[in-house]
Amino acid sequence: MSTAKYSPRLADKYKNEVVPALMKKFSYKSIMQAPKLQKICLNRGISGAVTDKKLVDISVDELTLIAGQKAVSTVSKKDISNFKLRKGLPIGARVTLRGEKMYEFLDRLISAALPRVRDFRGVNDKSFDGRGNYTMGVTEQIIFPEVDIDKVNKITGMDITFVTSANTNEEAYELLKELGMPFKNAKKD
């Protein structure tokens, strides 16, 4: 019986290639200063959830399939009469990935899902929040190979947030670029 512990491909790449590259670029004194990916949050709001409760269940199932981890439904925090929304109604779905599942999802996103986007030229490099976090939007859930196109009744998108330990946008950009994120206008070194 083998005692070798499984480690995702991108986790190994982070330890062996990304950390040394970041240490050289930003001249860190310790490997602990190098920024790392802490979590990936997938979030989806459902437009017709007020009138059709099954849309939330379908969305939770799809996010569970995409992420490889159980998604939960989100509920509204307050009443908004213009949208016929009451406090406590389920209106979305979310899932937070950490550790091995986070690296596995990132690997699938970069190598399988993003290349399936129509007219894909790279992700926007201006979606950083100033504190080292990056958020991108996906307009169609069918770019993920786990989703069966025949079973999809409504094409919806989602937000994907990459939370890093970086202090600046530049550090977070370099971290994600080294991990393989295909940015538009990527600066060549």
Task: Return d(Cα 142, Cα 117) in angstroms, integer.
Answer: 9
Structure tokens at 13: 């790449």
Backbone torsions φ then ψ of 149, nearest 5 degrees: -60, -35
Give the model's confidence band at 49: pLDDT under 50 very low, under 70 low, under 90 confident, else very high: low
The pLDDT assigned to 41 comes to: 92
Task: Return d(Cα 179, Cα 14) in angstroms, integer.
Answer: 7
Task: Return d(Cα 120, Cα 139) in angstroms, integer.
Answer: 12
Task: Return d(Cα 114, Cα 121) in angstroms, integer.
Answer: 10
* 93, β-bridge pairs: 44, 73
* pLDDT higher than threshold 80 for residue 96: yes
E strands, 36-184, are 37-45, 72-75, 90-97, 134-138, 158-164
Residue 137 DSSP SS3: strand
Share of the chain above pLDDT 70, in %: 94
Output 133 or 184, whichever has higher pLDDT. 133
Task: Return d(Cα 42, Cα 154) in angstroms, integer.
Answer: 18
* pLDDT higher than threshold 60 for residue 70: yes
Task: Return d(Cα 131, Cα 165) in angstroms, integer.
Answer: 9
Give the model's confidence band at 180: pLDDT under 50 very low, under 70 low, under 90 confident, else very high: confident
pLDDT (average), residues 8-34: 86
Residue that has been written with the tokens 């310790």 in this structure: 30
Residue 24 DSSP SS3: helix
Rounded-to-5 percentages of helix, strand, coil across the chain: 40, 20, 40
pLDDT (average), residues 15-33: 86
Compute and round to an integer the Cα radius of gyration of the chain: 18
Give the model's confidence band at 23: pLDDT under 50 very low, under 70 low, under 90 confident, else very high: confident
pLDDT (average), residues 134-150: 82
Give the model's confidence band at 95: pLDDT under 50 very low, under 70 low, under 90 confident, else very high: very high
The pLDDT assigned to 50 comes to: 66
Tell me which amino acid residue 22 is. Answer: L
